[in-house]
């Protein structure tokens, strides 16, 4: 049976994000061999574009074949050996996932926990490092997708390098939407995912390894537990040697290439500003509809906003009606936020004023039908006021 055309739903959840027609057209180009000379040129250019967006000169920068979680696993299996000590900041689902993956590598995992919706305290992290001076690696989530909280990185970097450990950063929901600045911040390993602020379909995990990380990797005493994600193979495939390792997802790399080229055309500062502007306008409009943000202003992500669901409003019913009546998808809460908060994405191509206003109109319509009286005019006015102030 022929594939039916999927409904054109506006993706405003925690991912994936809307994909531009240029990127969709690119993914449908003629498939060529993964060692074809033309494809090797595309690989080279894609790596250059990734260095531009990571803001790094790291030679070991390429997309892992797999989603963002494959990037997490690639970083951990290559850096950790059985018995290594690793310190991980946990303030949501993805910090906890990092703990799980590290423990599967045979590492001794020490957690630094924080309240959901708050960043990990760098002072608490440093205390743990002082008590465990043999920690090899520290993992932290820059943009926690389960809460919408942003982690300040500078104080973490200072603490980690003071104790001669490596810093691993999860930038799945930040890369391409807010500064990651690998070289300026002196980050050792950073991974991300195609499907968030980069604006490509899910299926690749951009990753970059710095000089210190590569030195540690070269000092390993045991084989990497994953053959597929072994850096010694992957660097030979993505490097000058082009040693065959696996068949790369050719058309997915076409899509990544085009999405990255669009970011380069827009410019990083302009793109970061667009994300901040639309996020601020959406928050202003949501407040007018009676919703309070979960995360404090200084820690709130511009790419993913979490808001408390108004009293007497049923989570699943609103999200279902958004999908069926307005063709909009938003995300429900996870963990302690389940049924209590919504996660609203404004990522990549989806971070647009028209999408902010479309969602405000849809929520106002549903709320009023459900007896939660609110003013659409006030919500649109608050959003418009912020746009005017910024512009």
The answer on pLDDT for 333 being more than 90 is yes
pLDDT average, residue stretch 368-381? 94
332 and 286 part of one domain: yes
210 and 359 part of one domain: no
244 and 100 part of one domain: yes
Confidence of residue 1 (pLDDT cuts 50, 70, 90): confident
Q: Give me the pLDDT at residue 282, please.
A: 98
Confidence of residue 242 (pLDDT cuts 50, 70, 90): confident
Residue in the block written with tokens 């970061």: 272
Q: Give me the pLDDT at residue 217, please.
A: 97
296 and 214 part of one domain: no
211 and 292 part of one domain: no
Q: Give me the pLDDT at residue 285, please.
A: 98
Q: Give me the pLDDT at residue 389, please.
A: 86
Q: Give me the pLDDT at residue 245, please.
A: 87
Confidence of residue 244 (pLDDT cuts 50, 70, 90): confident
Per-residue pLDDT reduced to its tens digit, 259-299: 999 999 999 999 999 999 999 999 999 999 999 999 999 99
Q: Give me the pLDDT at residue 144, please.
A: 97
Q: Which of 353, 334, 332, 352 is nearest to 343 (CA)?
A: 332
242 and 315 part of one domain: no
Q: Give me the pLDDT at residue 3, please.
A: 86
Q: Give me the pLDDT at residue 368, please.
A: 95
| Rounded CA separation 387/357 (Å) | 12
230 and 279 part of one domain: no
Q: Which domain holds residue 320?
A: 268-390
pLDDT average, residue stretch 195-220? 97
Task: Give domain status of residue 46, yes or no.
Answer: yes
Q: Give me the pLDDT at residue 5, please.
A: 87
Q: Give me the pLDDT at residue 390, please.
A: 77
206 and 333 part of one domain: no
| Rounded CA separation 273/346 (Å) | 12
208 and 329 part of one domain: no
The answer on pLDDT for 39 being more than 90 is yes
Task: Give domain status of residue 51, yes or no.
Answer: yes
Q: Give me the pLDDT at residue 241, please.
A: 81
Q: Give me the pLDDT at residue 58, please.
A: 98
96 and 212 part of one domain: yes
Task: Give domain status of residue 198, yes or no.
Answer: yes
CATH of the domain at 148: 3.40.640.10
Per-residue pLDDT reduced to its tens digit, 44-98: 999 999 999 999 999 999 999 999 999 999 999 999 999 999 999 999 999 999 9
Q: Give me the pLDDT at residue 178, please.
A: 97
pLDDT average, residue stretch 126-146? 97
**Average pLDDT taken over every residue of the chain:** 96
Using DSSP, state whether 355 is helix, strand or coil: helix
202 and 238 part of one domain: yes
- Number of structural domains in the chain: 2
Per-residue pLDDT reduced to its tens digit, 157-169: 999 999 999 999 9
CATH of the domain at 375: 3.90.1150.10
Confidence of residue 255 (pLDDT cuts 50, 70, 90): very high
Give all strands of the β-sheet with 60-65 in edge-to-edge order.
Answer: 60-65, 204-209, 189-191, 166-170, 135-141, 85-90, 108-113
Task: Give domain status of residue 61, yes or no.
Answer: yes
């Amino acid at each position: 049976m022929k594939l039916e055309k999927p409904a054109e739903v506006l993706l405003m959840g925690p991912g994936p994000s809307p994909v531009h027609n240029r990127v969709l057209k690119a993914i449908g180009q003629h498939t060529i061999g993964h060692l074809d000379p033309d494809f090797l040129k595309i690989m080279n250019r894609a790596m250059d574009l990734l260095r531009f967006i990571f803001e790094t000169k790291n030679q070991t920068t390429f997309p892992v074949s797999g989603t963002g979680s494959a990037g997490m696993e690639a970083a951990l299996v290559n850096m950790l050996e059985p018995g290594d000590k690793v310190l991980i900041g946990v303030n949501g689902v993805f910090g906890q996932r990092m703990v799980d993956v590290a423990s599967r590598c045979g590492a001794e995992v020490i957690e630094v926990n924080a309240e959901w919706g708050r960043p990990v305290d760098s002072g608490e992290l440093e205390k743990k490092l002082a008590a465990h001076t043999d920690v090899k690696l520290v993992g932290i989530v820059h943009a926690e997708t389960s809460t919408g909280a942003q982690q300040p990185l500078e104080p973490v970097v200072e603490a980690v390098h003071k104790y001669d450990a490596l810093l691993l950063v999860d930038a799945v929901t930040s890369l391409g939407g807010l500064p990651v600045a690998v070289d300026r911040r002196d980050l050792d390993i950073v991974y991300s995912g195609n499907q968030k602020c980069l604006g490509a379909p899910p299926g690749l995990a951009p990753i970059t390894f710095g000089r210190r990380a590569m030195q540690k990797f070269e000092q390993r005493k045991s084989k990497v537990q994953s053959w597929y994600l072994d850096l010694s193979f992957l660097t030979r495939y993505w490097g000058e040697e082009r040693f065959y390792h696996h068949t790369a997802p050719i058309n997915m790399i076409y899509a990544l290439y085009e999405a990255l080229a669009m970011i380069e055309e827009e410019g990083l500062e302009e793109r970061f500003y667009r994300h901040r502007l639309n996020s601020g306008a959406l928050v202003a409009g949501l407040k007018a509809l009676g919703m309070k943000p979960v995360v404090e202003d200084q820690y709130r992500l511009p790419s993913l906003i979490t808001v408390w669901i108004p009293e007497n409003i049923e989570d699943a019913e609103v999200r279902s009606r958004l999908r069926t009546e307005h063709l909009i998808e938003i995300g429900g809460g996870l963990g302690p936020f389940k049924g209590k908060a919504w996660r609203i994405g404004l990522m990549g191509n989806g971070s647009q004023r028209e999408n902010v206003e479309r969602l405000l109109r849809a929520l106002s319509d549903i709320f009023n039908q459900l007896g939660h009286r609110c003013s659409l005019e006030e919500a649109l006015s608050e959003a418009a006021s912020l746009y005017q102030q910024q512009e």
